[in-house]
Amino acid sequence: MKIFVSGIAGFLGSHFAERMLAQGHEVVGVDTLIGGYLDNVPQGAVFHQSDAGDVALMRQHLSGCDVVFHAACTAYEGLSVFSPSLVTYNTFQITASMISAAIHNNVRRFVFCSSMARYGSQEVVPFTEDMTCNPQDPYGIAKYSAELLLRNLCEVHGMEYTICVPHNIIGPRQKYDDPYRNVAAIMINLMLQGKQPIIYGDGNQKRCFSFVADDLQCIEKMVLEGGLHGEVINIGPDEEFVTINELARTIAELLDFDLDPRYVPDRPQEVRLANCSAAKARRLLGYRTQTSLRDGLKDMIEYVKRRGVKPFRYHLDLEIVNELCPKTWKDRLF
C-alpha cells in the first residue's frame, strides 16, 4: 500500500512510518518540523517539509495514496489557552486541508489521530468512547471539531474513516527540549541537567502514560484492516493511573536524583483526572499493555542520554500574555 503520514518527523508519526516501511509499504509524509526532529524521519520514506494546511500542496503529495494516517498537530493543551490561533490552525485547519486533499485523490481510508482532550472534564473516569465530549481548552475543542468535520465529509463523499484517541504517549524520539508539553520528557531533560522539575498546582493531577510501542499495533490495524469504519477507539493503558508527583518520583528514582520539585500555580483549564478506558481497544484491536510506566521511562532516559540533554527552546509565540499566563513560559523558567 501507499501510505501517507502527516507529522512524519514527529514522535508518533515517525515510529508508525518506520513500522510501515519495515512491512514493505510505500510511505510518503509531511512535517513542518514545529514539533519534531528531522532525523526522526525514517530512511526510505518520501519526505516533504510542507505545511499540512496548504491544501494545494497536500493534493500533490497525496497523489496515488491508499490510506492517510493524520498525526500532524501542535498538540499543546495548556498553551492553546494562550496561543489559540496557532494551536487551532495546526489542529483543525490542517485537518480540513488533509481531508479535502484526501477526498480529491480518492483515498480509501483516513485514520485521524485525535486526543484525550476531546473528553475534557467528566464526572467519572476512565473515559469511554460513548461519553459526551466536553473539551476544556481550544486544543480539545479543535480536535473534537476536526472529528465532526471528518465524519461529515466522509459521509458525504464516501471515504472510510476511523478515529484513534491515544493519550499521554511516551518513548524515544519524543521532543524533550519543548517547554510547552511532554511532562515526562521535560522532567527527564531537567533532572539529567541537575535541575529540579517544575510542577503545576499540587501535582496530584492523575494521568495514564502510554509507551509508544504498545500503541503502534492498534494503529496499524486501523490503517491496514477493514471493519472499523466510523469507530472512535481509545488507544493506551487504563492501568497505572498515577499523579504527576508520582511520575516525578519514579523518574528521580531511576536517575538517583535528589528530588525537591518546585511548585507553581495551576495552569488554567487543566483537567484534574484524565484516564481513558482501553476496553474497546482490547475488544476490537487486541490491545494489551506490554510496557510498564517504569520501563517506558527507562527507555526515554536512555534515549535522552544518547542524544544529549538540550536547553529548552521557546519556539512558539505566546499570543496572550497576562496574569494568567504561566511564569514557566512567560519568564522562561525551564
pTM over 0.85? The answer is yes
Separation of first and last alpha carbons in the chain: 43
Q: Which of 271, 315, 294 is nearest to 119 (CA)?
A: 271
Q: Which of 175, 200, 174, 176 is nearest to 186 (CA)?
A: 176
Tell me what pLDDT residue 328 has: 96
Please check whether residue 274 lies inside any domain of the structure: no
Beta-carbon neighbour count of residue 260 at 10 Å? 8
What backbone torsions phi and psi does residue 305 show, to the nearest 5 degrees?
Answer: -60, -45
Q: pLDDT, tens digit, for every residue of 159-206?
A: 999 999 999 999 999 999 999 999 999 999 999 999 999 999 999 999
DSSP 81-114: TT-HHHHHIIIIIHHHHHHHHHHHTT-SEEEEE-
What share of the chain in percent tops pLDDT 90? Answer: 100
Q: Which helix (H) or strand (E) holds 217?
A: helix 212-224
Task: For residues 256 and 85, give the distance between their C-alpha atoms in angstroms, rounded to a whole number.
Answer: 41
* Sequence-ordered list of residues with C-beta below 8 angstroms from that of 161, at least 6 positions apart, any chain: 109, 110, 111, 112, 150, 151, 154, 229, 230
CATH number at residue 20: 3.40.50.720
Q: Which of 138, 51, 54, 53 is nearest to 88 (CA)?
A: 138
Can you give the residue range of the structural domain that contains 56? 2-169+210-235
Task: For residues 55 and 70, give the distance between their C-alpha atoms in angstroms, rounded to a whole number.
Answer: 14
Q: What distances in angstroms separate CA 44 from CA 27, 34, 59, 69, 280, one per listed residue?
A: 8, 22, 21, 17, 34
Please check whether residue 43 lies inside any domain of the structure: yes
Tell me what pLDDT residue 234 has: 98
Q: Which helix (H) or strand (E) holds 188?
A: helix 183-192
Residue 288: pLDDT band (50, 70, 90) is: very high
DSSP 135-186: --SHHHHHHHHHHHHHHHHHHHHT-EEEEEEE-SEESTT---S-TTS-HHHH
Residues 11/12/18/20 CA torsion (nearest 10 deg): -170
Cell of 211: 509507551
Please check whether residue 267 lies inside any domain of the structure: no
3-state helix, strand, coil in the chain (%, to 5): 40, 15, 45
How much is the mean pLDDT over the chain? 97
Residue 19: pLDDT band (50, 70, 90) is: very high
Three-state DSSP class for 115? Answer: coil
Please check whether residue 334 lies inside any domain of the structure: no
Please check whether residue 179 lies inside any domain of the structure: no
Residue 226: pLDDT band (50, 70, 90) is: confident
Q: Is the pLDDT of residue 137 over 90?
A: yes
Please check whether residue 322 lies inside any domain of the structure: no
Q: Which amino acid is at 249?
A: R
Mean pLDDT of 255-284: 97
The rounded radius of gyration (Å) of the Cα atoms in the chain is 19
As for how many domains the chain has, the answer is 1
Mean pLDDT of 4-13: 98
Beta-carbon neighbour count of residue 22 at 10 Å? 10
Task: For residues 235 and 250, give the distance between their C-alpha atoms in angstroms, rounded to a whole number.
Answer: 23
Q: What distances in angstroms separate CA 172 from CA 41, 257, 272, one per listed residue?
A: 13, 21, 26
Mean pLDDT of 292-313: 97
Cell of 319: 499570543
Q: Is the pLDDT of residue 97 over 90?
A: yes
Please check whether residue 118 lies inside any domain of the structure: yes
- CA 124 from chain centre, in angstroms, equals 23
Please check whether residue 174 lies inside any domain of the structure: no
Q: pLDDT, tens digit, for every residue of 49-69?
A: 999 999 999 999 999 999 999
